[in-house]
Amino acid sequence: MKYTIPIGPIHPALKEPIMISCTISGEEITDVDVIASQNHRGIEWIGMNRNNPIQTIYVAERICGICNFCHPACLAMAVEEITDMEVPERAQYIRVVQSELERIHSHLLWAGVAAHELGFDSLLHYTWKIREKVMDTLEIVNGNRVTKAIMMYGGVRRDIKDEHVPKIREMIKYYLDLFGEVAKLFLEDKTIKMRTRDIGILTREDAIKLEATGPTVRASGVKKDVRQDTSYYAYPDFDVKAMTPDILTGDVVGDTYDRIVVRLLEVKQSVEIIEQALDEMPSGEIISEEKIPKILATIKKSDGEAIGRHEAPRGEDIHYVKLKSGFDGLYTWKVRAPTYNNILAWMPMLMHHQIADIPIVAASIDPCMSCTNRAVVLDDNERIITAEDLHNLSIEKTKEMMK
């Protein structure tokens, strides 16, 4: 008997505005369809029509709740290429440190969510307990746990002061000592192996054809990593190698288990990169142009187009920016978040699996729908309740409760 199970916009397995509707017969999935049109927020439209470039950095930063350094990083890289803005050396190093800090916190967050999808809540609590260390470091360095607000065209807005360095070093030591234990808890647990080994396999050929990016494609053995392939920021100094599962487990299967392996390896790699960055951090000022109005002016009179590519925690993140002189704001701005390509990889992964595998396979690509959906254009003719009414209703309810 066939039915369709909607793993939909509101589902405990996938708290993301996307809907996977699987037609199942018995327990086996026979067809997978992805419907992504649940919550498009108009980020590009805002960037092109409403905001000037400085404000667009903060819109880009809020494309994704977790990986919020990668989007402004790409945007700034593209704009700097067009306006040929010089970026001081120290700023390039700070950008590398920030993107690696973000990768650690994003991967550890994902590891906890994956454990929760498997029903292993104590591993979720454990992973998020050790993640607090990187969150405290981020709070000390950036002043805020998640939204860093540190990117500016031509450099960074805040420096890594001398009193921050011992805290970061302490975090590095903490994670290097802990890697063995975390790897043991995740990779040598029999029930996790039973649930993730040979589940959601993405063959190397599918991974390349469907253009998956980031840990999803590296788990299938393809050595694709933007930090290793293209030279941007200070990455040429770090000789970054793409992490594939055979480094730890010796062979490549391309299943959910390998994606856990790749992400844990990347956390270790990021910690080592930060350590090297701190050792070789050049001195000097951190932004090439202090006065913001001058930056706005140079952007306004520049012309041209460029792409910014950066290795976000979930994969390759690319922005295409086109500037036209005299136009206030970005003339054309296209954001492509990493999950955008990885969704296509769901189809071959989920085929002929059981319902129990949907949450963990869907979570294995670390979907971040807020990156992928980006525009809301409200049509107010037949919407009865608007956000305003809902807000007022909630105020009355809170007042009532406070009596």
Partner 1 sequence: MTGEIFFRVVMGTIGIAFFALFLGLSYKGIDRKIAAHMQSRIGPPLRQPFWDVGKLLVKDNVVPENAVSWLFNLAPVVCLASSITLLLYIPIAGYEPLLHGHGDLILILYLLTIPALSMVVGGFASGSPYATVGAQREMVTMISYEFPLAVAIISVAWKMSDAFKGDIFTLSFISSHPIWGNVGLLGVAGLILILLALIIVLPAELSKIPFDVAEAETEIAGGLLVEYSGRNLAMFYLADGVKTFALTSLVVAIFFPYGISQFFGLGSIPSFIIDFLFFLLKIFLVMLFSVTLIRVGVARLRISQVVSTYWVAITLMALLGLVLLMWDSQVLTVRWW
Partner 2 sequence: MFPMFGQLIKQLFHKPFTNKFPVKYTPNDVTALMEKVESGEVKINPPVELPESFRGKIVYDKEKCIGCKLCIRVCPAKAIDFKEEEKKIKIYVSRCIFCSQCNDVCPVNCLHMSNEFMLADVDRLSDNLIVE
Partner 3 sequence: MNIEEIIDAFEEKGLEVKVQTRMAGVKKKTERKTLWINVGRDRLKEIVEYMVEIADDFPHFSVISPADVGEEVEVNYHLSLGYGSYMGEVPITLKVTIPKKDLWVPTLTDIIPGTAFSEREIIEMMGIDVKGLEDKRHLFLTEDFPDGIYPWRRDETAPKKINKLYEGWKE
Residues 51-70 that bind partner 2 (CB under 8 A): 51-52, 54-59, 61-62
Q: What is the CA radius of gyration of the chain?
A: 22
Instruction: Give the Cα separation of 385 and 393 in Å (integer).
Output: 10
Residue 215: closest CA among 313, 362, 131: 313
Question: Interface mask (CB under 8 A) for partner 2, residues 164-183, using x and -?
Answer: -----------------x--
Among 13, 21, 45, 172, binds partner 3 (CB under 8 A): 45
Instruction: Give the Cα separation of 222 and 6 in Å (integer).
Output: 32
Coil vs helix vs strand at 260? helix
Judged by CB under 8 A, how many residues of this single chain contact partner 3? 63
Which residues neighbour 255 within 8 Å (Cβ) at sequence distance 6 or greater?
Answer: 196, 197, 198, 199, 200, 201, 202, 219
Residues 143-162 that bind partner 2 (CB under 8 A): 143-144, 147, 149, 157-158
Contact call for residue 116 and partner 1 (CB under 8 A): yes
- Nearest distance in Å: CB 77, partner 2: 20
Instruction: Give the Cα separation of 10 and 101 in Å (integer).
Output: 30
Beta bridge pairs of residue 308: 319
Contact call for residue 181 and partner 1 (CB under 8 A): no
Rounded (5°) CA angle 63-65-66: 115
- Nearest distance in Å: CB 118, partner 1: 4
**DSSP letters for 208-250:** HHTT--THHHHTTT----HHHHS--TTGGGG------GGGTTS
The 8-class DSSP code of residue 343 comes to G
Contact call for residue 375 and partner 2 (CB under 8 A): no
Place of tokens 């288990």: 257
Residues belonging to the chain = 403
Of 36 and 130, nearer to partner 2 (C-beta) is: 130
Question: Interface mask (CB under 8 A) for partner 3, residues 216-245, using x and -?
Answer: ------xxx-x-xxxxxxxxxx-x--x---
Contact call for residue 374 and partner 3 (CB under 8 A): yes
Per CB under 8 A, residues contacting partner 3 are 36-38, 40, 42, 44-45, 48, 80-81, 89, 92-93, 208-212, 222-224, 226, 228-237, 239, 242, 280, 282, 305-307, 309, 316, 318, 320, 322, 331-332, 334, 336, 340-341, 343-344, 372-375, 377-380, 386-388
Residues that bind partner 1 (CB under 8 A): 3-5, 11-13, 27, 115-123, 125-126, 129, 189-192, 194-195, 354-359
Chain contacts with partner 2 (rule: CB under 8 A):
51-52, 54-59, 61-62, 120, 122-123, 126, 129, 132, 136, 139-144, 147, 149, 157-158, 181, 184-185, 188-191, 292-293, 395, 398-399, 402
